[in-house]
Chains A and B, each alone.
Chain A
Amino acid sequence: MRTGFPTRALAALLLVLLPAPLVIVIGSSFSPRAVLGFPPPGFSWRWYVEFLGTPSWLVAFGISAALALVSAVLTTLASIGAALALRRAPARLRGIAETAILAPLLFPHAALAIGFLGWLGMAGLGGSFAGMLIAHLVLCAPFAYRPVAVSLAQIDSSLPEAATILGAEPGQAFRRVVLPLLRPGIAASLLFGFIISFDEVTVSMFLVGPEFTTLPVAIYARLNDSADPVVAAISSILILLTAGLVLLMDRLVGLRIFVDIEEDGRHPSA
């Protein structure tokens, strides 16, 4: 079937619109003037220097990076455990558990945030790294669980059995056969977990304290009182970092898992 003119025009428009924000953010980050604007009236590294020279920005960046890293690792480990346990669970129980894991996707983040604010405050964790981490674990769980569960479902149950009858103890069968085959799912899970946590604004905004903030919340707060291009400089660095991370993942495990997660050819077609 030939694609008609309207379809092609729409596709072309989207291709322009998708990278447009990136172009504008990166472009305006090089502005020598103190007002956010595009196109930039000149070229300067001024705002990059300001970001790297301001301790409060760097602390916020460090907190966000640490938070994202810990969230990604913990949710991925929990997802592996959950996927392994639920694979053998009765279908009804699995359905209930998976719905619970995916629930954070279904509720408005503002509502979740108010909930977290209430109970983290009661637990004395308001405005702390631990409190923020708990919230991020919950928010990352749906994104971390799915790739691992899909990867696991694609591993034929006869593979660990084959390892066992060839002499492997259950632990060896898991390490030598199941784990290597789970690798793309685990990588996707880590990447999703990291990006979701690093990016989170809505819920985090409710949970920051006077001495403790994350980078996205700090950016948002800065935009509220002055629109200088330092936020564009920070955003440009984040874009670069994310792109680097994705490329690294692609080199290490391949990113086909993101594209067609259901059809990743992991089965030995008999």
Chain B
Amino acid sequence: MPRSGSVGHLEIDSVSRSFGSLRAVNAVSLDIAAGEFIAFLGPSGCGKTTLLRIIAGFEAADSGRLTLDGRVLAGLPPNRRDVGMVFQNLALFPHLTVAENVAFGLELRRKGTAEIARQVEEALALVALDGLAGRRIQQLSGGQRQRVALARALVLHPAVLLLDEPLSALDLKLRRQLQGELKALQRRTGTTFVFVTHDQEEALSMADRVAVFNRGGLEQFDTPQALYGRPATRFVAEFVGDANIRSAAQLAPLGLSLPAGSLLVIRPEDCVVGTAAAAAPVRIDGVVEAVDFVGPHARLRVAPDGMPAGTTEPWLALLPGAALDGLAPGARATLGFDPARAAQLPASQIRGGA
């Protein structure tokens, strides 16, 4: 049930919010296009949920501007914003049935009984819950509750749907399944989704663009591929995926010269180990410290030679499982990589840190 025209263009312009001396959201600007699937990604306490609650209207921004399709949101209470929300604990009404939960917002809009019944049925069909309309919330499984929460929000056709870690309570398998369904639902409805998560894999796999937050600030806002391939900050490089991050001083002995103060980000899957390393432009000799074999691939930690004990920063490599070829902890090995495939963080951009 896509909405006519393009609605759901959300502009966030240098929005800040402090709690006491804590800057929960620090001058964040984001331009979210109508129909986009956006993920807010970051560790807990990074400000992503606070920003979501500011968009919903449950918190007020101290400064900055929020507009939805050109309408200024400041001063509008949550019930007048045309914004939907799926809460972290879902917040389904325990005293109402599935159908009554979904009908809640429609009844407040004073639609006719027949119209409400038709729309509830349509919304339940959309989330594949037809037949459960009369159930009580307590009788549903976790995944079914999830879908009721989605139907309850989507039946009102909000311009933007906010989702606050709605999958975090589910087990991994159900989570994967619902991630797929959620993404398909977003495509089908054309609604702008803003999805808060601390799970980088969830963010990368679902969103069109991901906003990475750290300590209240926006680190980077980009497509998943760009985020991973060209991290803008050290924080993003470390938070999104694994990375070998080396300074110019650490790389100089390997014959690589970088501008002073800049960093090189080498992804573990861009490293090769063993005989394959012979052809790599940059090679490091060392000892295999650890091997984690997980079937399709294996993670290796290689301690480079010539580093004083205690200061050794091991290299991470991700190899196809079949390429392990007898590499075991304690074995001598050569690790190689191609600096052309690595991302460089200029000195001026290095913020955050582990």
Contact = CB atoms under 8 A, between A and B. Distances in A.
A204 to B, nearest CB: 38
A229 to B, nearest CB: 48
A85 B92 CA distance: 24
A71 B57 CA distance: 40
A176 B100 CA distance: 11
Nearest to B86: A162
B22 interface: no
B58 A161 contact: yes
Contacts of B156: 166-167
A167 B56 CA distance: 12
Nearest to A154: B94
B46 to A, nearest CB: 20
Contacts of B89: 156, 158, 268, 270
Interface string B66-106: 00000000000111010111011111111100000000110
Interface residues of B, number: 31
A268 B94 CA distance: 6
Contacts of A162: 85, 87, 91-93
Nearest to A180: B95
Main secondary structure of the interface of A (DSSP, over half): helix
B109 interface: yes
Contacts of A270: 88-90, 142, 145, 169
A159 to B, nearest CB: 5
B152 interface: yes
Nearest to A163: B104
A165 B78 contact: yes
A265 interface: yes
A165 B104 contact: no
Contacts of A161: 58, 78, 87, 91
A266 interface: yes
Interface in B123-162: 137-138, 142, 145, 152-153, 156
B94 A166 contact: no
A164 B91 contact: no
B95 A166 contact: no
Given A162-B85, A268-B89, A270-B89, A169 B79 contact: yes
A166 B105 contact: yes
Contact of A268 (B85, B91, B104): B91
A164 B94 contact: no
A172 interface: yes
A168 B88 CA distance: 20
B53 to A, nearest CB: 9
Nearest to B94: A268
A125 interface: no
Interface string A246-270: 0000000000000000000111101
A168 B108 contact: yes
A176 B57 CA distance: 20
A73 interface: no
Contacts of A268: 89-92, 94, 137-138, 145
Nearest to A169: B79
A268 B85 CA distance: 17
B78 A181 contact: no
A114 B58 CA distance: 50
Given A158-B87, A161-B87, A177-B95, 6 more contacts: A162-B91, A162-B93, A164-B77, A165-B56, A265-B138, A270-B142
26 contacts: A156-B91, A158-B87, A158-B88, A159-B91, A159-B93, A161-B58, A162-B87, A163-B93, A164-B77, A164-B78, A164-B79, A165-B57, A165-B78, A166-B79, A166-B105, A166-B108, A167-B108, A168-B79, A168-B108, A266-B94, A268-B94, A268-B137, A268-B138, A270-B89, A270-B142, A270-B145
